[in-house]
Amino acid sequence: MESITVPPTMANNNKDSKLHIAMFPWLAFGHMIPYLELAKLIAGKGHKISFISTPRNIYRLPPLPPNLSTLISFVKLPLPENPNLPEGAEATADLPEDQVPHLKIAYDSLQEPITQFLKTSKPDWLLFDFAPYWVPEIAQTLGIPTAFFSIMIAAVLSFLGPTSPGIPPDDRKLPEDYVVPPKWVPFSATVCLRLFEVLRLFKEITGDETNVSVVYRYMKILRGCDVIAVRSCAEFEPEWLGLLEVTHGKPVLPVGVLSTTPNTDEDDNETSRSIKDWLDRQSKNTVVYVAFGTEATPSQEEATEIALGLEKSGLPFFWVLRTKHGEEAVKLPEGFEERNEGRGVVCRSWAPQVKILAHDSVGVFLSHSGWSSVVEALTFGRPLVLLPMSNDQGLNARYFEEKKVGFELPRDEQDGSFTSEAVAESLRMVLEKEEGRVYRDRTKELKPLFGDRERQNVYVDKFLEYLTTHRGCRTT
């Protein structure tokens, strides 16, 4: 995929013409993929997209459908060299978690090239992520209207804090302040962090002398953007979407849940065929699917308890156990794979998650609570056992349990540890027992909402209608 510079003539204020939208996601595949899904839906309606990222990340994105290749241009901005980053590291998946701050510093060095691109291409709108807190000022100077596109649900965004002058400011300072719902939430809610999650995230919340905090980035972005776009829908979290408008005093536009488009090339993959053969041999609604996304990796202690819990459950399982670049692979209990041969599979490479979740044999999904994975699960009506590991996942888990689409695995409040017995019991409860029926029934009820692409696509239409109507509303 070649880098394409969009000529200035592409910018056009004629209300009847198509839009040119630039997109600038954070350098994590959990962010880039939803941005690309939205880009494909927008391009499918005839609008032009400039998708901005680094060369290696663009190379690793899924291929575009042929009918969209002329409408989506990939703009490659090389990352400046950083002595603290390994060679070739351009995404969070390339790094251990403790090195991700160095990637943010390198990303912050893209201010000049992004300014030059925006000056040259003059897009009608710029959609950006949480990380480039310096982008709103650049766009405002150039007279380009902006939308912060959040890949997180509105409940999580609301937890981060208000920016509207009419709302009392966030005065949380101690870890204990984050274990209750924020004071600006006017309705009954359970969305808050648990103590062990706060302690793990506290540096991200407060920042340090080398890097601004994640919360600071979000707040600057939320203050500086013209519009907040959210990967969500009004049927799933109406009260939180409404609260966002109040706490930030600007339009909040849901764009739908953006279910991942399956890659048809996966059917011809030998790995995919062998996985399907194994799933075909299992009974309907019996398999435990275990996966923790591209970013979350269980510790050695957690992996041991998960393995023993799967074994104790007596259920068939398919476990995707990958290792992030630069991290040591976790070891499974001695003899685990031999004892469970035939009943369970441990896959240490890529696996086609959408196709696995679509298979009738899958009965429950043990997940890290990442929104993309939950969207995929609910698209096929699969109930969840939730094991949040980092970032926004704990907040997600509280809301998903509140909505009765998943059961959160019981853990120690101080250190987040859990037992193999809790793993086994949680899986059996959600999959088989009467008290788990509420999760099984609720996910079946939501399947028509999450699985209906046309219904979700209406949100994209409304979003584009807003962008088209307001594209001339530039500040300079």
Please check whether residue 475 lies inside any domain of the structure: no
Write down the pLDDT at residue 9: 37
Look up residue 248 and give its two tokens: 């930030």
Is 69 within a domain? yes
The verdict on 435 and 291 lying in the same domain is: yes
- Low-confidence residues of the chain: pLDDT under 50: 1-15, 474-476
Does 37 share its domain with 165?
yes
Q: 460 and 377 in one domain?
A: no
Residue 474 belongs to some domain of the structure? no
Q: Which domain holds residue 236?
A: 8-260+453-469
Does 49 share its domain with 160? yes
- Looking at the fold, whether 323 and 253 belong to one and the same domain comes out as no
- Under 8 Å between Cβ of 408 and 376: no
Q: What is the pLDDT of residue 275?
A: 92
d(CA 160, CA 158): 5
Instruction: Examine the domain organization and report whether 230 and 279 are in the same domain.
Output: no
- The residue to which tokens 């269980």 are assigned: 298
The pLDDT score that the predictor gives to residue 372 is: 95
Taking each continuous run of H as one helix and of E as one strand, the counts in the chain are 18, 13
Report how far apart the first and last C-alpha atoms of the chain are (Å, whole number).
34
Contact 198, 206 (CB under 8 A): no
The residue written with tokens 């993929």 in the block is 33
- Residue 266's pLDDT is 52
Same-domain status, 72 and 93? yes
Q: Is residue 225 part of a domain?
A: yes
Looking at the domain assignment, is residue 275 inside a domain? yes
Q: What is the CATH number of the domain that holds 232?
A: 3.40.50.2000
Contact between 240 and 155 (Cβ < 8 Å): yes
User: pLDDT tens-digit profile of 238-266?
Assistant: 999 999 999 999 999 999 999 876 665 55
Q: Is there a single domain that holds both residue 222 and residue 322? A: no
Q: What is the DSSP string of 382-405?
A: --EEE---STTHHHHHHHHHHTTS
Residue 2 within a domain = no
Residues in the chain: 476
**Cβ atoms 373, 293 nearer than 8 A:** yes
The pTM (predicted TM-score) of the whole model is 0.92
Tokens representing 182 are 């924020």
Sequence-ordered strand ranges (E) for 327-461: 344-347, 362-367, 384-386, 406-408
Q: What is the pLDDT of residue 463?
A: 97
Claim to verify: residue 248 and residue 273 sit in the same structural domain: no
Residue 372: count other Cβ atoms within 10 Å of its Cβ.
22
CB contact at 8 A, 371 and 345: no
Residue 1 belongs to a domain: no
Q: Are residues 320 and 196 in the same domain?
A: no
Write the pLDDT tens digit of every residue in 343-354. Answer: 999 998 889 999
Residues 255 and 292 in one domain: no
* Domain shared by 158 and 287, yes or no: no
Task: For residue 39, give Cα distances in angstroms to 21, 33, 69, 73, 268.
Answer: 9, 10, 11, 10, 26
pLDDT of residue 187: 96
Question: Tokens 């696509």, residue?
Answer: 457
Q: Angle CA(230)–CA(159)–CA(224) in degrees, nearest 5?
A: 55
Tokens of 306: 């998960």
Q: Which residues of 176-209 are buried (b: 16+ CB within 10 A; e: fewer)?
A: eebeebbebbeeebebbbbbbbbebbeebbeeee
How many domains does the chain fold into? 2
476 domain residue, yes or no: no
